[in-house]
């Protein structure tokens, strides 16, 4: 393949950084052919800003590309994957892979937080089977957009596990901040849930990846998650909540805090926290406790640069760190989040694997396990933390 042609679906944050990272890929000639999104004005503005062609939909774009890059909202992912697979196109898909978004006629009267979670898990598992079968039928490359996997700190821990034969006994991880900027986040039928699916899948994906690495290094097969116990809460909707206007609170029907306790096939454990109630910028980490070492994987903040600003207006046009509500005082600035957060390495791996016909480190198997674990966690939370089996798609 001389030139890898890529079409992007979605014009939000992920679409923008995918364009930037794809244009920095090396070793493979990449052509970003065009972009599409649901709203005509959005796709045309995005195309004009990045020098791309705007397509009216996925189908018209498919005949011009080798890869469909899904940066669209999660409710649209499954349809995009199935259309691409039927056309014989490989897929890059942002997280979360998919989810339950309510009945087809759901409106504001439908509340995902009050809907039964058992049927949600059944529905999601059926989607995962369809996605897996479609991709396997055509032997296509699938890249799952979990940047935690590719963060330099997590990749260093991968090397440590592989080279020392470590047994990982427990892991902890978190992604939290002061609330998503997306106008549709907070609405279950658009996002598929709240903190667990919107943020918790990041550390969950990184943690499941490291246990897969351990199993492959020590025994030649991945160590997969077996059960999950979870709780979720709506902290900013408590009657006692005192709103200081620093945290987002306009959620329709999702949780703004969640915790998952996972037991793996080998009896080892992991604990994941996630929420919308953390000030001071995005908070991302994974910590590994093994039988021969301990590693803290810092993703954000990484403290490569600390800068002090006595007057907020001075830094008005300077990006420091994601989700920081003020630029006054000391700030842990990110000199290149595309590197420290793993975005650049993620797209490099995906492109290289399509060109070579190999599997990315963050692949469909990981995406399936992350999604099944998350919706099993919602079932557990509905049962007030009862240990729940994680089905295997």
Give the residue from 61, 63, 58, 101 showing the smallest Cα distance to 79: 58
CB atoms within 10 A of CB 160: 17
pLDDT digits (tens, 9 = 90+) for 220-250: 999 999 999 999 999 999 999 999 999 999 9
The pLDDT of residue 325 is 80
The pLDDT of residue 279 is 92
Rounded Cα distance between 100 and 121, Å, is 8
Answer yes or no: CATH 3.40.50.720 is held by domain 3-146+345-363. yes
The pLDDT of residue 171 is 98
The pLDDT of residue 4 is 97
User: Where in the chain are all domains bearing CATH 3.40.50.720?
Assistant: 3-146+345-363
pLDDT digits (tens, 9 = 90+) for 266-292: 999 999 999 999 998 899 999 999 999
The pLDDT of residue 385 is 98
- What's the chain's average pLDDT? 95
Phi, psi of 190 (to 5 degrees): -100, -35
Say whether the peptide bond before residue 301 is cis (omega within 30 degrees of 0): yes
pLDDT band at 324 (very low <50, low <70, confident <90, very high): confident
Rounded Cα distance between 142 and 227, Å, is 26
pLDDT digits (tens, 9 = 90+) for 70-124: 999 999 999 999 999 999 999 999 999 999 999 999 999 999 999 999 999 999 9
Strand stretches in the chain, DSSP E: 3-9, 29-36, 53-54, 67-70, 90-94, 142-145, 168-176, 225-233, 257-264, 269-275, 283-290, 294-300, 305-309, 329-333, 388-389
The pLDDT of residue 266 is 98
Give the residue from 71, 374, 69, 366 showing the smallest Cα distance to 215: 366
Q: Is the pLDDT of residue 181 over 90?
A: no
pTM for the full predicted model: 0.95
Q: How many CA atoms lie within 13 A of 280 on its CB side?
A: 10
3.40.190.10, 1.20.120.1200, 3.40.920.10, 3.30.360.10: CATH of 147-340+371-389 = 3.30.360.10
CB atoms within 10 A of CB 192: 29
pLDDT band at 381 (very low <50, low <70, confident <90, very high): very high
Q: Is the pLDDT of residue 367 over 70?
A: yes
pLDDT band at 334 (very low <50, low <70, confident <90, very high): confident
User: Where in the chain are all domains bearing CATH 3.30.360.10?
Assistant: 147-340+371-389
Q: Is the pLDDT of residue 321 over 70?
A: yes
Q: Is the pLDDT of residue 1 over 70?
A: no
CB neighbour burial string for 337-364, b if at least 16 within 10 angstroms, e if fewer: bbbbbbbbbbbbbbbbbbbeeeebbbbb
66: left (phi over 0), alpha (psi -120 to 50) or beta: alpha
The pLDDT of residue 57 is 95
């Amino acid at each position: 393949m001389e030139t890898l042609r890529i079409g992007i679906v979605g014009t939000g944050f992920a679409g923008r950084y995918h364009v930037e990272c794809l244009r920095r890929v090396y070793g493979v000639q990449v052509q970003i052919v065009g972009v599409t999104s649901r709203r005509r004005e959005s796709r045309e503005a995005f195309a004009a800003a990045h020098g791309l062609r705007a397509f009216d939909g996925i189908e018209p774009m498919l005949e011009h590309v080798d890869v469909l890059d899904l940066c669209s909202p999660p409710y649209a992912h499954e349809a995009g994957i199935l259309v691409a697979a039927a056309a014989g196109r490989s897929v890059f898909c942002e997280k979360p892979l998919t989810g339950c978004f309510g009945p087809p006629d759901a409106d504001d009267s439908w509340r995902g937080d009050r809907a039964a979670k058992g049927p949600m898990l059944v529905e999601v598992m059926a989607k995962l089977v369809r996605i897996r079968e479609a991709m396997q039928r055509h032997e296509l490359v699938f890249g799952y957009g979990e940047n935690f996997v590719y963060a330099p700190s997590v990749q260093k821990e991968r090397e440590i596990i592989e080279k020392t034969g470590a047994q990982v006994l427990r892991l902890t991880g978190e992604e939290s901040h002061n609330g998503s900027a997306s106008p549709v986040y907070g609405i279950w039928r658009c996002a598929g849930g709240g903190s667990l699916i919107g943020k918790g899948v990041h550390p969950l994906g990184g943690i499941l990846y490291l246990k897969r690495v351990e199993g492959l290094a020590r025994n030649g097969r991945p160590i997969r998650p077996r059960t999950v116990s979870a709780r979720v809460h709506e902290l900013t909707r408590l009657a006692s909540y005192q709103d200081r206007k620093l945290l987002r609170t306009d959620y329709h029907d999702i949780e703004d805090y969640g915790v998952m306790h996972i037991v793996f096939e080998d009896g080892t454990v992991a604990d994941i926290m996630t929420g919308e109630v953390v000030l001071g910028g995005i908070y991302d980490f994974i910590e590994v406790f093994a039988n021969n070492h301990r590693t803290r994987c810092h993703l954000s903040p990484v403290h490569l640069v600390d800068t002090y600003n006595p007057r907020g207006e001075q830094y008005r046009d300077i990006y420091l760190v994601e989700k920081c509500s003020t630029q006054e005082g000391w700030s842990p600035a990110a000199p290149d989040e595309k590197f420290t957060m793993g975005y650049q390495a993620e797209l490099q791996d995906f492109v290289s694997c399509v060109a070579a016909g190999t599997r990315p480190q963050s692949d469909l198997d990981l995406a399936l396990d992350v999604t099944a674990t998350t919706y099993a966690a919602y079932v557990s939370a509905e049962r007030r933390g009862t240990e729940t089996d994680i089905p295997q798609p």
